[in-house]
Chain A
Amino acid sequence: MKTTRLLSLGIALACALRGSAQVPDAAPPASAPPAAAPASANAAPKSGDSKFLGKDVPVFDPGSELLTWDGKTWNVNNNRAFQARFEKYLNAPEEVSTEARQYQAIISEILNRLAAGNATTANIDVAFKYLPMASRYDIDARLGSALADAVYTVWVAQRQQNRLTSANESLRYARHSAYFRVATSDTGSTLDETKTTSTTSKTGSETKTATDSVKSAARQGRAAIELAELEAAIKANEARKMLSEIQVKVEFQALIVQFFMQRRFQHVLMATRFYRAVFTDGDSKLNLGKDATELFQKTTGVPPTISVLDSLANEALRDVREGVKAYEFLLENNELDSAAKRLAEAFTVGEWVPEIRVLPRTKKRQALEYVQKSNQLLSTLEARDYTQAERLLADLAKIAKDFDASKARALIETKRRVAQLRLANARNAALSGDKATLEKELAEATELWPLNPQLAEVANAIFSQGDVQQRAVSDFDQLLGQKNYRQISENSTRFIAALATYPDKAKQLQGVLTDMQKIETAILRADEMARQSNYAGAWESVEKIAPDFPDDSKLNQVRANLTTQAADFVRTLRSAQDAEKREQIGSGLAWFLKAKKLYPQSDFAKEGVERLASKIVPEG
């Protein structure tokens, strides 16, 4: 529990410190596993219109590994800055140089000399002298100098306080004298009184006695004023002393908190020990602002004191050491998932802790591939590239035997299935010509799985189908305008498919195809009759439908051929029709009778005979 609190505080502090260099992610996408618990993140408290480190105090939820800060929520493991920093660490060489060892030796020496029981004046002076030496090393980032400056400032302030104490001693002595003078003037000096009585007795003058009384009162007044001035000076000095002490304390505490926020836990320990050495009044309460106090209280559960910081720093150092040991053990067992997580946690808290810095690069790099692939997996899930994510899952399962792929696999499968379903709906909508549904389903399928390989195929098919369809519709309109029904009939398959979504045009197409069927049937019948040398019957077969389709070239061609072959019949029939037109009913009927003789099955002749006979004999 304490470790968790420490981790959350460390992460919060680390993020707060890096805040200016980071851009918090937007709320993680629903598809990414880390975003599985946004509700808990949302429940994180906010500190109103606080301006500390932005708007809110950063709050870390260890249950979901989500950090909430400034209205944004993100998973600490799924953060670009953290990933980059951690990968950089995994690739960095271990710090085992002579310089690093010397630096750690100095730090250890300082801590030893300031440890409880060792903090004599001499040891404190030695430790103080070591601080500038430590700050000469690059890894120290001159924090040792900052601490030395703070300690020196305290000492200067304390010397100033000593001088003020001495000054007050002098003032108190003067005040004592002033008190005496006032006191003696007030009660009447025996010396003066004797002197006055003697003088009175000598001179007997009452006027002189009065003059002496006035002078005495004046002296008493001056003494009272002097006393008041001395009192005021003493009070002013005491106030100055108090203020000076509070100021240096606050400055020192701020430095300790800063070290803590920077996760420079060794410096926190040095500073707290120096603090106790230079401030011996036993007051260790931290004078922090409201937000900073809340930050500590919410994460540690206790009010912030020097002791709390000291114990937190010690706990952090211990936790990091334990984390590194756990990493090494898990690494030996090829449990890279847990190993990488433990190392990431240890790194987050104790980036500057020696155990983290000296971890060999060879050991760190064993986790690198796993971490990189894990980060890639998170990226691919965020980008909804489920094909690549599946490959990464397989790779991760090979690398780390403790890798749990079930969550990610379930997510991938679910998304893929839903996307495929949407795609199938889109395909059906395209076939049925439901444009609105097509667009909606296609958009949904794209949103769910943008890199779905079938998405491109289906979309291309639909779009090319749309293109072909438009071209077919255009061709149909053109051919219909030209009354080129035969061309339409020859490409009927193409037009049937294309015009399925255009009910009006489909109806026109159906009409054209029916007509063409009539023509073809007539031509087939004519061919059959012609084969049997029944040219009159063949001609009549095509002639019957000719008025309906005067523009059909094939029909006209057949008609022309058969007209030649059935010339007598055609001429007779034409003569009959001509006579009928001329109202020559008798001769017209004679021609029809002749035609009927030539081709007894002739419908034209039969109808002509019926028609004209009824004109001659109306009543049947």
Chain B
Amino acid sequence: MARRASSSAHPVWMLFAVGLLVAAVAGGALLFNKTSDPYRTLTALPVQDYLENANSLRGNSYKIDATVVESLRYSPTAGRLFSVEVQGSERLPVLVPAEFNHVNLERGQRFYFKVGVEDKGVLRAQDVKKV
């Protein structure tokens, strides 16, 4: 009787294949993230610099990836003022003008904000995208 050839893969190959799969998934996710950030061309707001001296950032536009904490104030004409939490620690006030009144911003929701640093350091949202 003829000796049957072995059908099981070598364990080394098995480990390699798993690693390759994980790398493929991570790369895909990274790629997905990169491609889903609508303001990926913008610089993230340097929060510490802003807190220390907002004037130095005046006139610039930045992006903020933040979670809505609470609505501070509302005006039909001026818009809404939100407290958002950035990077899991710092909280910033963002004025969402009336033109974005159609966008529902609710507590706990994460948004991308394109903000401009205006006079007196007010962060005015120039665009809002839900993550």
Contact = CB atoms under 8 A, between A and B. Distances in A.
Interface of A: 575, 579, 583-591, 593-594, 596-597, 609, 612-614, 616-620
How large, as a class, is the contact surface on chain B?
20 to 34
Contact of B72 (A586, A597, A613, A618): A613
B91 A597 contact: yes
Given A593-B91, A597-B91, A587 B75 contact: no
B72 to A, nearest CB: 5
Interface in B75-119: 75-81, 83, 90-93, 95, 117-118
A590 B75 contact: no
Contacts of A575: 51
B77 A586 contact: no
Contacts of B39: none
Interface stretch (B2-10, B12-20, B23-31, B120-128): B120-128
A327 B78 CA distance: 126
Given A587-B51, A587-B121, A616 B90 contact: no
Contacts of A590: 50-51, 90-93
Contacts of B95: 616-617
Nearest to A593: B91
Given A613-B93, A619-B78, A586 B122 contact: yes
Contacts of A616: 73, 78, 81, 93, 95, 122
A381 B80 CA distance: 99
Given A585-B120, A585-B121, A617-B95, 19 more contacts: A579-B54, A584-B53, A584-B121, A586-B118, A586-B121, A586-B123, A587-B50, A590-B91, A593-B83, A593-B91, A596-B91, A609-B83, A613-B81, A613-B93, A616-B78, A616-B95, A617-B72, A617-B73, A620-B75
Contacts of A620: 73-75
Contacts of A585: 120-122
B54 A617 contact: no
B91 A618 contact: no
9 contacts: A583-B120, A593-B69, A593-B91, A609-B83, A612-B93, A613-B72, A616-B93, A619-B76, A620-B75
A597 B77 CA distance: 29
A281 to B, nearest CB: 146
Contacts of A587: 50-54, 121
Nearest to A588: B121
B77 A619 contact: yes
Contacts of B90: 590, 594
A593 B123 CA distance: 14
Contact of B73 (A596, A597, A614): A614
